Amino acid sequence: MDSKHFHHALKISEEICIGCSHCMNVCPTEAIRVRNGKAILYENRCVDCGECFKACPVRAIFIDQDDFKRIQSFNYRIALVPAVFFGQFPEEISHSQIYNAILANGFTHIYEVETSVDLLANEVKAYVKSHPESKPLISSFCPAIIRLVQVKFPALTDNIILLKPPLDITALYCRKELTDQGINPAEIGVFYITPCAAKIAAIKSPVGEDYSMITGVINMDTLYNKVYKYIRNDRSTRQPEIPVRPLSRTAQQWTLTHGEANHIPGRSLAIDEIHNVIEFLEKIENDEIGDIDFLELRACDESCAGGVLLSANRFLVAERLRRYTPATDTTAAPEEGINRYKDYLLKRMKIHSINPRSMMKLDENMEEAMRKMDKSSQMLRCLPLTDCGACGSPNCQAFANDIALGEAEIRQCIFIQKNREQTGELSPDESLELLKGIWGSDKFFSNRK
């Protein structure tokens, strides 16, 4: 589904925001401005990467989630849990203990997201081999990267591999398995335990799909705290051992940096952290780098181990997952587990083409867009190019575009203000009022009591 607007999991609390501009300065897509002393979000630019969430010093930015009580609306409550969730716990806590704690918190079934990785890995290899004209092919795993390509690198949307990520394949599998047991689909609730905001946004407004098979989303830190508290408080109680079929090494490490690229033949590169990804894609777009078969691109440092909703250190989580060795042979027979549904899943693994949504587009009408572009260029020539951010926009180019779009006026530039004060075109009081309109009255001593 490619609706006009993205759903955004990142929210800004106007009551808490102090208009400090930390978020504006770290946003990789220039999606934040400061107006009237508060941060505001330009939704057409935001990719829900979470950089602003990490940078906010007062926790005014938060990640929206479904009410945990919502799981009780269903008789069959499935927790879709990624490997990084388990990687947060100390090694003395077993998989079985974590399973028990998840079930004790209200879920009836647990499926590990990476259960479908071994099926997907073979399909990705085949896709790369059969689409040599689309190199470099870009993994569809990270939803923040998909949105980044759409809004900042629209010419590269055709390079995205049109296959579902493991999350969506496993959601399809668990629903199919339960309905085949005679369970009414309306009684099944599938809840993903997410390490980041981007996956919430991808579920609420899917790209390349008509709808999501996932009912709701629970933030990972929420469930982690519930599970850890349960385990800590019930150490003396002997819990039944729950049989847990371990993932293969490939599946366990798929969400980490190099987790995909190490298994794709040809020249395959893995790049994590969104600013690194942007720098690399700019080189790809400018033909500075070529002859690459596959790109594994992840918005977070250390990939999903660095998700903003994890409670443990990303390097320790990654280390635990990389040291993982399956206790038993994880090769399932054709009639076991997910392999029973291999044909069913393979037929439904593809997604629709992904459309560009360029954030650089100033207007849908070409003639009007050219007029605004010309105005932006004129404004930019008048600006000091210091990128100081005092105007409430992240840099002079963004400010020039804001002026062209009618969302700012050139007098908001502090340098323009001072020049006009010197020539008498602007009084000091008028200049002060302009600054108050950007940064709010509370930041000026004359308004403090």
Give the model confidence (pLDDT) of 22-58 as tens digits: 999 999 999 999 999 999 999 889 999 999 999 999 9
Round to whole Å and give the CA distance between 110 and 186.
18
Number of domains the chain contains: 2
Same domain, 279 and 370: no
Same domain, 329 and 396: no
Q: In the β-sheet with 268-272, what is the strand arrangement from edge to edge?
A: 137-138, 294-298, 268-272
Q: Which domain range does residue 425 map to?
A: 362-449
pTM (global) more than 0.85: yes
Looking at 301, 316, 346, which one is the last position of a domain? Answer: 346
Q: Which residue has the tokens 């290899």?
A: 125
The torsion angles phi and psi of 183, rounded to 5 degrees, stand at -85, 135
Q: Which residue has the tokens 């933030």?
A: 219
Same domain, 292 and 187: yes
How many Å separate Cα 35 from the centre of its chain?
Answer: 25
Torsion sign over Cα 109, 112, 115, 116 = positive
Same domain, 134 and 207: yes
Q: What is the pLDDT of residues 70-83, one digit of tens each?
A: 999 999 999 999 99
Residue 247 lies in a domain: yes
Same domain, 336 and 375: no
Same domain, 175 and 283: yes
Strand partners, 41: 32
Amino acid identity at 30: E
- Kindly state the average pLDDT of the residues 257-271: 95
Q: Cβ(359)–Cβ(44) under 8 Å?
A: yes
Q: Which long-range contacts (CB under 8 A, 24 or more apart) does 429-435 make?
A: 435/390
Residue 191 lies in a domain: yes
The torsion angles phi and psi of 371, rounded to 5 degrees, stand at -65, -45
Same domain, 329 and 368: no
Q: Which residue has the tokens 């940096």?
A: 257
Closest by CA to 142, choosing from 350, 301, 267, is 301
Same domain, 182 and 261: yes
The bridge status of strand 294-298 relative to strand 268-272 is: parallel
Q: What is the pLDDT of residues 340-383, one digit of tens each?
A: 999 999 999 999 999 998 777 788 888 998 999 999 999 999 99
Residue 127 lies in a domain: yes
Helix (H) or strand (E) run with residue 264 in it: none
Q: What is the pLDDT of residues 308-323, one digit of tens each?
A: 999 999 999 999 999 8
Same domain, 342 and 367: no
Same domain, 341 and 427: no
Looking at 294, 321, 346, which one is the last position of a domain? Answer: 346
